[in-house]
């Protein structure tokens, strides 16, 4: 039995793994798919200080309080920032990192710096609500922004998107333990569309895993192709 911790991306919550988690669980594995502070079902917990470090701490605390070990730590999109930070803090608890069409940060780099062509448009729509800077405000047709086009998937996902704290995208990742996070085995599961549209330096990082998979689908691949994602994650567990 393997232990999976599934981390969502910006504007999402643990709900986005709703079709992947049962497939992994039915195969006999333990699954944790938390919503990070201020996101999804925890949108009410957001504060003006919620940032990348907050989300790294969310996951570290989950792993420590549940005493998880040999974790296959999966991060989607912005979640790549989070799982890299977690791997830096508690590398001994992690068996492998899986980047699910995700950001591949290095020390001192924020998501805004890592993917400006995607984050600057989000910043342009930033609003301050109750003293908190938020981006990715849901709107009609928002599912298409994440590559979700099937009508049933759209109907399920669109009511669940939530705004995301801007500081998470703007705060640089600061590593505490040298290159510990980069010594762990890593798997990349990329979307064909993302690979095609990525700058060359980003594409190199997307293909530098010990294993690299590709799915021809939209960015929210855990929603659009849950069976294929689960199959690839099960191959990592095996």
Query: In the numeric block, which tokens belong to residue 77?
Result: 């999109």
Helix, strand, or coil (residue 164) = strand
Taking 90 as the threshold, does the pLDDT of residue 206 lie above it? no
Q: Quick one: CA dihedral 92, 94, 95, 100, positive or negative?
A: negative
Band (118; pLDDT cuts 50, 70, 90):
confident
List active site positions.
77
| pLDDT of amino acid 26 | 97
Average pLDDT, integer, range 169-189: 96
Report the percentage of the chain scoring pLDDT > 70: 100
Average pLDDT, integer, range 202-206: 84
Average pLDDT, integer, range 182-205: 89
| pLDDT of amino acid 196 | 87
Taking 90 as the threshold, does the pLDDT of residue 119 lie above it? no
> Are the CB atoms for 190 and 219 separated by under 8 Å?
no
**Tally of CA atoms within 13 A in the half-sphere of 198 that contains its CB:** 21
| pLDDT of amino acid 72 | 98
Over the stretch 146-158, which tens digit does the pLDDT of each residue have?
999 999 999 999 9
| pLDDT of amino acid 199 | 78
Taking 80 as the threshold, does the pLDDT of residue 117 lie above it? no
Q: Which has the higher per-residue pLDDT, 204 or 223?
A: 223
Which of 39, 41, 53, 46 lies closest to 130 in space, CA to CA?
46
Distance CA 237, CA 4 (A): 9
Over the stretch 48-98, which tens digit does the pLDDT of each residue have?
999 999 999 999 999 999 999 999 999 999 999 999 999 999 999 999 999
> Are the CB atoms for 125 and 100 separated by under 8 Å?
no
| pLDDT of amino acid 212 | 96
Least confident window among 42-46, 122-126, 162-166: 122-126
Q: Quick one: CA dihedral 90, 107, 6, 59, positive or negative?
A: positive
- Residue 63's alpha-carbon distances to 20, 96, 132, in angstroms, are 20, 14, 28
Alpha helices in the chain (DSSP H): 20-26, 52-65, 79-89, 111-114, 116-124, 142-145, 151-157, 166-170, 192-197, 200-206, 221-224, 226-237
Distance CA 221, CA 73 (A): 17
Distance CA 22, CA 61 (A): 24
Band (120; pLDDT cuts 50, 70, 90):
confident
Q: In the chain, what are the domains?
A: 3-237 (3.40.50.1820)
Query: In the numeric block, which tokens belong to residue 234?
Result: 């099960």
Least confident window among 14-28, 114-128, 136-150, 154-168: 114-128
Report the percentage of the chain scoring pLDDT > 90: 87
| pLDDT of amino acid 115 | 80
């Amino acid at each position: 039995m393997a232990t999976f911790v599934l981390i969502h991306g910006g504007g999402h919550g643990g709900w986005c793994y709703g079709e992947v988690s049962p497939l992994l669980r039915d195969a006999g594995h333990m699954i944790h798919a938390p919503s990070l502070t201020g996101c999804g079902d925890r949108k009410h917990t957001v504060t003006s200080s919620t940032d990348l470090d907050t989300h790294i701490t969310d996951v570290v605390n989950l792993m420590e309080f549940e005493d998880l070990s040999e974790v296959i730590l999966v991060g989607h999109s912005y979640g790549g920032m989070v799982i890299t930070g977690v791997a830096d803090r508690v590398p001994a608890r992690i068996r492998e990192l899986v980047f699910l069409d995700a950001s591949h940060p290095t020390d001192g780099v924020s998501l805004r710096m890592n993917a400006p062509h995607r984050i600057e448009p989000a910043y342009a729509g930033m609003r301050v609500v109750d003293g908190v800077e938020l981006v990715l405000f849901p709107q009609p047709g928002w599912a298409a922004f994440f590559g979700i086009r099937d009508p049933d998937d759209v109907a399920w996902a669109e009511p669940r998107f939530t705004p995301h704290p801007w500081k998470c995208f703007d705060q640089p990742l600061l590593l505490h333990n040298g290159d510990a996070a980069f010594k762990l085995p890593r798997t990349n599961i990329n979307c064909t569309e993302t690979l095609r549209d990525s700058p060359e330096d980003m594409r190199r990082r997307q293909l530098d895993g010990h294993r690299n998979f590709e799915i021809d689908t939209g960015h929210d691949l855990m929603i659009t192709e849950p069976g294929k994602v689960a199959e690839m994650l099960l191959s990592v567990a095996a």
